[in-house]
Amino acid sequence: MKIETNTVVGLTYELKVSKFEDEIESAPFSVEIRDEEDPFYFLFGQSGLPEKFEELLNGQSQGEDFSFTLAVNEAYGEPDDELIINLPKSQFSDQQGFNPEMLAEGNFLPLMDENGYPMQAKILKDLGEELLLDFNHPLVGFDLHFDGKIIEVREASKEELEHGHVHGEHGMHD
């Protein structure tokens, strides 16, 4: 079966990132490895992944290897200064499930958007009564280098299509 809209795709891969600064590209460094013990599964066409990522996998089959690079503008784009905001520390209390260790600079806070979807914010600076948070995707500003293998392609179930995500062993349980 080939990868197409509404198929469930399972991948193993290594993701490396690089960045251009002052016309010089940094050496790619590894930021994520998904192996056979922890493969990555997604619903093709509803993944929320960069469009170019899906475009480059479209039509491939189980067992095929892939290797490609997404430039910044094909991946998550450049950082948006409007997504860097100050919020009162009081919003991150024990009652909301946060502990003081979670509020350290450099940490990512697990949050939910207004629709209940998970998101995260990186703590850039502790300003005393407030935290300076970055809501940009952690991979903004980077070229993404993928090397991997397609380990499974199958038709999505009716429930997966209705819910917009993978169910079962490699997906969400609901």
Q: What is the rounded CA–CA span in Å between residue 36 and residue 170?
A: 11
Per-residue pLDDT band at 173 (split at 50, 70, 90)? very low
Interval 55-75: pLDDT, tens: 999 999 999 999 999 999 999
Exposure string over 85-102, b if 16+ CB within 10 A, otherwise e: eeeeeeebeeeeebeeee
Per-residue pLDDT band at 53 (split at 50, 70, 90)? very high
**Residue 141 amino acid letter:** G
Residue 135 has pLDDT above 80, yes or no: yes
110-to-2, 62, 93, 135 alpha-carbon distances in Å: 35, 33, 13, 11
Higher pLDDT, 137 or 170: 137
Number of alpha carbons in the 13 Å side-chain half-sphere of residue 38: 4
Residue 30 has pLDDT above 80, yes or no: yes
**Residue 21 amino acid letter:** E
Does CATH place domain 7-77+139-170 in 3.10.50.40?
yes
Neighbours of 25 (CB within 10 A): 10
Per-residue pLDDT band at 20 (split at 50, 70, 90)? confident
Going by C-beta distance under 8 Å and a sequence separation of 6 or more, which residues neighbour residue 12? 34, 35, 36, 39, 40, 148, 149, 151
Which pLDDT belongs to residue 119?
85
Residue 172 has pLDDT above 70, yes or no: no
Q: What is the rounded CA–CA span in Å between residue 35 and residue 38?
A: 5
Vertex 118, ends 38 and 29: CA angle to 5°? 50
Q: Which fold has domain 81-134?
A: Thrombin, subunit H (2.40.10)
**Residue 173 amino acid letter:** H
The closest alpha carbon to 164, from 6, 40, 2, belongs to 6
Which pLDDT belongs to residue 97?
86
Interval 38-52: pLDDT, tens: 999 999 998 889 999
Domain ranges of the chain: 7-77+139-170, 81-134
Q: What is the rounded CA–CA span in Å between residue 90 and residue 56?
A: 44
Global pTM? 0.81
